Amino acid sequence: MQTNQADNTPKVALITGAARRVGAEIARTLHAAGMNIIIHYNASEDEALECCKKLNQERDKSAVALRGDLLLPESEVSLVQQAVGIWQRLDVLVNNASRYYRTKFGKVTEYSWDDLMSCNLKAPFFLSQAAAPHLAASSGCIINITDIRAERPFHDYSVYSISKSGLSMMTKVLAKELAPLVRVNAIAPGPILWPEGENALSDGEKEEIIESTLLLRPGEPQDIAKTALFLATEANYTTGQTLYVDGGRALSGKGG
């Protein structure tokens, strides 16, 4: 069990957007390592409550679900205050919540710009700022979930790519700002889970993406979750870094 050596209480992790997909897998993995988990969600209430229920069945009173619309003013401060109030500590902040959709250049609206920037960059910044004093008290860490698109922009996803590039730079900035007490790192996933809904890809597009990886296969959510666990518990001398978990796609020279 991940505990504080001084008081022997479990470490606490707040994961945004943790009701489903990769966020939920990160929550399950950190929980299995002994941490208490705060599952943040916005619209996915049923999934968040079900995930929370299962974690508490495994270990009683070890998980809580908190709703928060991170696009609302001061929502980040409120979420952190609620999170810290549960177990009176915070050791890990995982900025996972994200929006992803096409913004064709020439037709980008101010709404889509503000929406993507607010969710993918502004919210993680102000969550980190609110959480920093609590993380410093426990020598904790921040983990940002970026994207290989932070370095290799995707056609028709200009604003999304810019927002993730900003999050990548924020990782470096906060590593300096919060040193030496708080470590700040990022994970840049490649093809892990395919987009859903109106962003869904054709079979041909999926195959093209797979062929652009060096390992010639998509990854799994557990690949990201295990990396988050490493950064949270083992990478004690690592800060300001982005780990690419992309099957080598960033090196392949293929795709765009």
DSSP letter for each residue of 165-234: HHHHHHHHHHHHHHTTT-EEEEEEE-SSS---GGGPPPHHHHHHHHHTSSSSS---HHHHHHHHHHHHHT
pLDDT mean across residues, the chain: 94
**8 A C-beta contact, residue 121 and residue 170:** yes
Residue 244 is among the residues annotated as catalytic for this protein: no
pLDDT tens, position by position, 133-147: 999 999 999 999 999
User: From the candidates 157, 160, 237, 244, which is the catalytic residue?
Assistant: 160
Select 12-244's CATH number: 3.40.50.720, 2.30.40.10, 3.40.50.2300, 3.40.50.1370: 3.40.50.720
pLDDT for position 94: 98
Give the residue extent of every domain in the chain. Answer: 12-244
pLDDT for position 4: 53
pLDDT cut 90: percent of the chain above it: 82
> Does 5 score more than 70 pLDDT?
no
What residue type is 106 in one-letter code? G
pLDDT for position 2: 62
Where are the strands (E) in 54-150, listed by range? 63-67, 92-95, 141-145
pLDDT tens, position by position, 152-209: 777 899 999 999 999 999 999 999 999 999 999 999 999 998 888 888 888 898 999 8
Q: Is 118 helix (H, G, I), strand (E, B) or coil?
A: helix
Element (H, E) at 40: strand 36-41
- Indicate the pTM of the whole model: 0.94
Sheet of strand 242-245, all strands in order from the earlier edge strand to the far edge: 63-67, 36-41, 12-15, 92-95, 141-145, 183-189, 242-245
Find the mean pLDDT for residues 13-22. Answer: 97
Grade residue 148 by pLDDT with cuts at 50, 70 and 90: confident
**8 A C-beta contact, residue 23 and residue 228:** no
